[in-house]
Every structure is written in structure tokens, then in C-alpha cells.
Amino acid sequence: MQTQFTLSGRVASIGEGFVKGIARIINNEAELDKIQAGDIMVAPQTDINFVPALELCVGLVTEQGGRFCHAAIYSRENDLPCITDVEDALKIIPNGAEITLDTNSNTISLA
């Protein structure tokens, strides 16, 4: 049984506002092949090399970043729900768990 959690950070892009998907923990560029269509990527940060994988995602969570980071800019340009600056996201969010990303309330939680 997975432990309940509710995380928040900085909403970088509202996108659709509320999405559900499978959390995929991506520690670095070498792990991008783990992403499947409909996933929510959880990463320390993103850069241009993450774009092909981001195109498959329904949402994005990063531990670092602000309004002008790559994740925020990409998400706004592509209407992707995104919350950045989420402390310890990679430690708390279980890889493979179904999660909800709600940019209207700035929360990430188990679905």
C-alpha cells in the first residue's frame, strides 16, 4: 500500500488544469526511454533533450525551476500542466503510481 501525500510547488503552466497519469521518475536524460504516452514526468529539471519524451506526457513535475526555466517555458508553449519547485518530489512520488496533477489548486497527490 502506498502512503498518501499531497505536494505543492510553483504552478508554471495551468494547461488543462487537472490530469491523471502514471508517475515516471526521470533522474536524467538516459532514462527518458521510460516515458510512455499519458505519463506524468517527475524530474529534477528538464532541458531541450527532454522534448521528445515530454511530447508523450500529460503533465510535468520538477524539483527545480521557476517561471523562466525550460520546464515552465515548454509547458506554457504546449499547454502542458506543470508544477515546478516541488521539494523532494523524486523521493516522495512513487515511480509507476497513478497520480493527479491539479494546477488549479497547485497540488500533486495519489489518484
Catalytic residue among 53, 54, 70, 93: 70
Nearest to 8 by CA among 109, 111, 110: 109
Q: Is residue 58 part of a domain?
A: yes
Assigned domain for 1 exists: no
Q: Is the pLDDT of residue 58 over 70?
A: yes
Is residue 26, in this structure, part of any structural domain at all?
yes
Portion of the chain with pLDDT greater than 70, in percent: 98
pLDDT of residue 78: 98
pLDDT confidence band for 2 (50 / 70 / 90): low
Q: Checking phi first, is residue 107 left (phi over 0); if not, alpha (psi -120 to 50) or beta?
A: beta
Per the structure, the complete domain to which residue 104 belongs is given by: 7-110
Tell me the per-residue pLDDT of 36-45, one tens digit each, with 9 for 90 and over.
999 999 999 9
Q: pLDDT tens digits, residue range 66-102?
A: 889 999 999 999 999 999 999 999 999 999 999 999 9
- Is residue 16 part of the annotated active site? The answer reads no
In a domain, 2, yes or no: no
Percent of the chain's residues with pLDDT above 90: 94
Our count of domains for the chain comes to: 1
The set of cell numbers assigned to 10 is 510553483
- List, in sequence order, the alpha helices (H) in the chain: 51-54, 70-77, 89-92
Tell me which DSSP letter residue 3 carries: P
Position 1 pLDDT exceeds 60: no
| 9: nearest Cα among 110, 107, 111 | 107
67 occurs within a structural domain? yes
Is residue 55 in some structural domain? yes
We report the CATH number of the domain holding residue 89 as 3.50.30.10
CA-wise closest residue to 57 among 85, 25, 80: 80
